[in-house]
Amino acid sequence: MIIAVVVPLVEFLGIIAAIHAVMNARTSQGAIAWGISLVTFPWLALIFYAIFGRNKFRGYVLLRSSKDNAIQHVIDKCRAEAVEKKLIREESSTSEMALTRLADSPITSFNKSQLLVNGVETFRAIFEGIESAKEYILVQFYIIKDDELGRKLKARLIRKAREKVKVYFLYDEIGSYQLPGDYIEEMQDEGIVTSAFHTTKGKANHFQLNFRNHRKIVIVDGKSAYVGGHNVGDEYVSKHPKFGVWRDTHVKVEGPVVKLVQYCFIQDWYWATSHIPDLSWELQQAENGVEDALIVASGPADSLETCSLMFVQAIHTAKERIWIASPYFVPDGQVLSALKLAALRGVDVRILIPEKPDHRTVYLASFSYYENTLPIGIKLYRYTDGFMHQKVFLVDSDCAAVGTANLDNRSFRLNFELTLLNYDLSFIKKIEDMLNDDFSRSRSVELTDYTKRSFFFKLAVRSARLLAPIL
């Protein structure tokens, strides 16, 4: 009797889900794949569709629209003040205009940046910033671990909380799944306000496990911000035996752009807590600040595919070079096409990825791109001096970017990301020198690295490529 009811019910739900997939899938290929699977194998496909089928974080979309009365006036006031104080770059190229419209954010002037290469330098700067805090500290990471580095961070935050500095601590519930409850409880007992970024928050989102908040942000008193690729764990300061030297990049910024980073944090905090902290929003020039900078916050709640389009625009803009460093190379079709076209018009296209993998499936999938990139002049490099995790790109001598976005579909469409674009020649030269040093510690990839592999390796590569949309 139960089977007679359950079987047609599951089949009916499969049909409904198939219709939903056809109406909402990003590509026709995805719609066909989901539609056939849900109708043919609903028992299994329904589970996978509930987890992986969504391409928009609906709850965040709704909250973003409903919060307008709550915090939209904050950013509107900041923009008006920036115009009044002439803190916004008045003249922009067509390319820059496209990025500002994509980011829904202006290019601000009078900023100052400090490039932070690798974990020791990064966390020394972050800890010095925390020690200097007088009013508040905002902390957000994708991964936080209860190890030596994690405990150092906790101890410093607790010390500042005891000095009556307000501390807000946000972490991704999936990325930081290993973080024990007593780590959080100890901070809460000291007056630190903590929250997980719950992608499963809300009745309609219980199975929404495929989205992540991948941002890494520390803000001190609204005056300085730290963004980049580092999470909080001993491996990020090269203390993990498996990875050895961990190559990563962060940046410290001061000036008006800090408030745009802060606004990004507040949106995530409001989703997690339904609360808006009392923070400073007064715009200030950085001391000796001469840099123009843009913040591109992207994620699955955007109306456009912001992260993917940012890369496409940067690549299309390049006239001489586009250098990209990413731990993963699983680009979507439009980014891959942009890279190919850049190479065909004579642009120096370089992609730097690690030799040593941290995720085997993504590592295997990257081999599948060799045959249609290397022959047309796209240069691939494998970093050999440890593991490389930085997310950096360089466009000609016009723009350099440091952030959290990888060159993969997960960053393009499933993760909340943050990228800082800097237009200052001095900063761009530092990025160029840094990447040249990285290339000197890398090997050039040859097509034979893939073609001479065994049949079974190639089969594994092609199988991994099938998972590219969720990698």
291-298 vs 415-422, strand pairing mode = antiparallel
Distances (CA, A) of 4 to 9, 12, 14, 239: 9, 13, 16, 58
Element holding 359 (H helix, E strand): none
The residue from 145, 154, 214, 252 that is catalytic is 214
Q: Is the dihedral of CA 447, 452, 456, 457 positive or negative?
A: negative
Q: Quick check: is 250 catalytic?
A: no
Residue with tokens 């092609």: 462
Q: Angle at which helices 455-466 and 360-367 pack, to 10 degrees?
A: 110
Q: Quick check: is 214 catalytic?
A: yes
Ranges assigned E (strand) in 287-422 = 291-298, 321-325, 329-330, 348-354, 379-383, 387-388, 392-395, 399-403, 407-408, 415-422
392-395 vs 291-298, strand pairing mode = unpaired
The residue from 216, 252, 259, 430 that is catalytic is 216
The residue from 154, 223, 391, 430 that is catalytic is 391
User: Is 222 in contact with 260 (CB distance < 8 Å)?
Assistant: no
The residue from 221, 234, 358, 385 that is catalytic is 221
Q: Quick check: is 396 catalytic?
A: yes
The residue from 147, 358, 385, 396 that is catalytic is 396
CB under 8 A, 24+ apart: contacts of 12-16: 13/42, 13/46, 14/38, 14/39, 14/42, 14/45, 14/46, 15/39, 15/42
User: Is 107 in contact with 92 (CB distance < 8 Å)?
Assistant: yes
Q: Quick check: is 389 catalytic?
A: yes
3-state secondary structure of 144: strand
Phi, psi of 288 (to 5 degrees): 60, 25
The residue from 389, 398, 430, 438 that is catalytic is 389
User: Is 362 in contact with 408 (CB distance < 8 Å)?
Assistant: yes
Q: Angle at which helices 2-24 and 42-52 pack, to 10 degrees?
A: 40
Give the catalytic positions in this structure.
214, 216, 221, 389, 391, 396
